[in-house]
Structure 1
């Protein structure tokens, strides 16, 4: 702006200088005529002429400067502001003069700048909201242009298939490592130009992931085909819970059918006349009682597990000595251990007091010891150790039993899951003991760990905090 102002000022001064020089030459031509007249003083005329030149020059300079300030400078400022707006600098403003039509020009440019700034702010806000929504929507999303180039992909989609956002931008979807089933679905959407809603299963080694997939074409308001969008929702956990529900119903039916069938069969045998044989009568009644007790244990464990899993379940917290809990649990399983000539070894701690529910913790230790007795051969040992820490106390149950394979360890806490079904069922177990142990441990804000090798025995470690959080 200053360079243009200087150029205009110099041009104006040069123009005025030219006019004055022409006037000076004209007077110079006329001066000899006046100089020959009587009483005329040349020195006075030259002085007056010089003063007139100086006054005219100053007056023209002031007038030219004012003219530039009023007209040229605002126009140049408005032009430079428009250039800044074109570059995206919506904070630029043009000076608004007090009068003249240039006031309207500066005001109009500034109104335009403010409108563009507001529109830019709204656009940035909407873009930020859209970006936040896409990145945190929990489902995988990918947008593919009409030429098959990836235009948008969120982190959830990239994480589902181990992709990098930087290496996938503007690349064809066939060039990245997508499952064949998903690529086929993308091509179906491109060919049919219609929405698709389905489910796919992706297997990576031993891991299987289930996705609910929705694909649809992207069409602008003017009917122009822009590409397609694919949304993935991980439903693996829902599938797992659905399978657990099915297995639970099947297992409960199986576990109840066996004792009920036995009771029904022996009852019919007694009614057919076997009750007259006293020895057979007593044997059948003992079997019926045993199977009835088995049903009662199963029902009780189911009720306990259901109660523990309810949201309103609470513990009767109090000062609990785990040494005392371990002793009581050992007394409970001592008879079953003696029948198999298994020796229980208890190692206590000097300070094993925690804040917990003594009855529920007794249930935890008793179930672990009962499991150890069931899966341990005769003439072995079972260790029950209480280990103290600064903030936690650990209850450890180690046996010399059949052990658990590594691939089965994550499933031992499932309902009705048994490592050795025949041995557990013959012992009268319900298959719910470890599920109850896991839920009660988590209710105490603790954690449980399993260390095992087939044929080498198993160690269960229950780590419990000394104090419970508020």
Structure 2
């Protein structure tokens, strides 16, 4: 059994136990006359004169997953709210055909149906889910990976239990992509070193060829050093922040210090840097996380700005007054709309790289995102091709 299958197996066993318990409770409730089917509804109202039996209602409320009860007319008479978000139920009806077919089969022949199901989150719930994960708004719905159990309670009622394993699968996908990307980044330096070693081992020293190989080794090593440095910053960006008087940070002072350190880089590429803002704004910070986030945002702005361009960094109070907003504004290449939903992913690299950004490994914006998450803040982007980009890092004010 793989590591991924262990929690799934545990969840299925728990679901099966709860399923049996609920069926027993419902049957006992019906046998004692405490269930009047006409009032068996999922959304209580003043007109509903009947409730689930106490045992069943208690078990359903305690279930960690999603439960749905369907009557003989395929009407959903009780449902967890997440059944709607997962795209299984809408308007008090099962809308997924696979689940509905399983309900019909269970009603006809009894027994229990276990199957995997992939659904999509209805568009009206997507923005809420993305906000919870601090992800930019997307035009497409989110996939949901579900483990479904369907069984008959009696001739009229069928129960559907849904275990959402999407988080585990998404985590596995991120983990696997992370490992693959790191491995690919390591191939360049090792191949370059191997090639140089071959030239030296042959003994037929071609000075020009060795010089070319050496330059390739140096470039690969620089990229590898960049990746290792960014990985360390990414780890640091995920360390929790505990607000205290000892970690209060004047935000504008920190931003000025960061920008001053990056001034030589901007000068080298002919890009102007300016800083402005409210000097009274104070936030909590530890381990230089905010410095790391601002560094990556400003480095990106410099990298994608044309020679003679300008990058502006401002620190202002949010409209609500309880947060500070760091904005990094450039007038460079801009970001395509399709790419904007992915730019905060680890190792994501857009197609519009240039000589300044070629050595990047796609971790800069992921670092900035994690700093926002760690501080219980947010990061957003406005951009359009040819019009530049504005990144806004929002951080709560110090407590």
- Fold in common (TM above 0.5): yes
The CA RMSD measured in Å over matched residues stands at 3.4
2:149 is equivalent to residue 214 of structure 1 = yes
Query: Whole-Å Cα distance in 2 between the matches of residues 441 and 151 of structure 1?
Result: 40
Change in Cα spacing, 1:215 to 1:162, as seen in structure 2 (3 Å) is closer
Q: Tell me which of 329, 332, 335 is aligned to 2:261.
A: 332
Counterparts of 1:325-404 in structure 2, within 5 Å, are 325-357=254-286, 359-388=288-317, 390-404=321-335
Change in Cα spacing, 1:446 to 1:143, as seen in structure 2 (3 Å) is closer
Query: Whole-Å Cα distance in 2 between the matches of residues 433 and 129 of structure 1?
Result: 53
Q: Tell me which of 109, 130, 146 is aligned to 2:56.
A: 130
Deviation for aligned residue 1:246: 2.0
2:177 is equivalent to residue 247 of structure 1 = yes
Q: Is the 8 A contact 1:320 1:356 kept in 2?
A: yes
2:190 is equivalent to residue 260 of structure 1 = yes
Q: Is the 8 A contact 1:413 1:435 kept in 2?
A: yes
Q: Cα deviations across residues 175-194 of structure 1 (Å, max 9, x unaligned)?
A: x4512222233334345533
Give the aligned length: 329
Deviation for aligned residue 1:459: 0.7
Q: Is the 8 A contact 1:143 1:151 kept in 2?
A: yes
SS of the counterpart of 2:180? helix
Query: Whole-Å Cα distance in 2 between the matches of residues 215 and 186 of structure 1?
Result: 6
Q: Is the 8 A contact 2:118 2:144 kept in 1?
A: yes
Q: Is the 8 A contact 2:243 2:284 kept in 1?
A: no
SS of the counterpart of 1:419? coil
Larger % of helix: which?
Answer: 1
Query: Whole-Å Cα distance in 2 between the matches of residues 276 and 131 of structure 1?
Result: 82
2:232 corresponds to? 303
Q: Tell me which of 56, 78, 86 is aligned to 1:153.
A: 78
Q: Which has the higher contact order (CA 8 A, sep 6+)?
A: 2
Change in Cα spacing, 1:377 to 1:345, as seen in structure 2 (3 Å) is same
Structure 1: gaps of 5 or more residues: 1-87, 89-123, 169-175, 220-224
Deviation for aligned residue 1:368: 0.5
SS of the counterpart of 1:411? coil
1:178 corresponds to? 95
Comparing 363-372 and 208-217, the one that deviates more: 208-217
Deviation for aligned residue 1:398: 0.6
Deviation for aligned residue 1:372: 1.1
Query: Whole-Å Cα distance in 1 between the matches of residues 350 and 61 of structure 2?
Result: 43
Query: Whole-Å Cα distance in 2 between the matches of residues 144 and 353 of structure 1?
Result: 54
Q: Tell me which of 407, 420, 429 is aligned to 2:351.
A: 420
Structure 2: gaps of 5 or more residues: 1-33, 35-49, 124-139
1:269 corresponds to? 199
1:456 corresponds to? 387
Query: Deviating runs (4+, > 6 A) in structure 1?
Result: 313-316
Q: Is the 8 A contact 2:86 2:144 kept in 1?
A: no
Change in Cα spacing, 1:227 to 1:359, as seen in structure 2 (3 Å) is closer
Q: Cα deviations across residues 129-169 of structure 1 (Å, max 9, x unaligned)?
A: 63254246353323345x454474223334544857xx74x
2:247 is equivalent to residue 318 of structure 1 = yes
Change in Cα spacing, 1:302 to 1:151, as seen in structure 2 (3 Å) is closer
Change in Cα spacing, 1:228 to 1:238, as seen in structure 2 (3 Å) is same
Change in Cα spacing, 1:306 to 1:334, as seen in structure 2 (3 Å) is same
Q: Is the 8 A contact 1:320 1:358 kept in 2?
A: no
Change in Cα spacing, 1:300 to 1:385, as seen in structure 2 (3 Å) is same
Deviation for aligned residue 1:365: 0.9
Q: Tell me which of 183, 193, 205 is aligned to 2:110.
A: 193
SS of the counterpart of 1:412? coil
Q: TM-score, normalised by structure 1?
A: 0.61
Q: Is the 8 A contact 2:88 2:119 kept in 1?
A: no
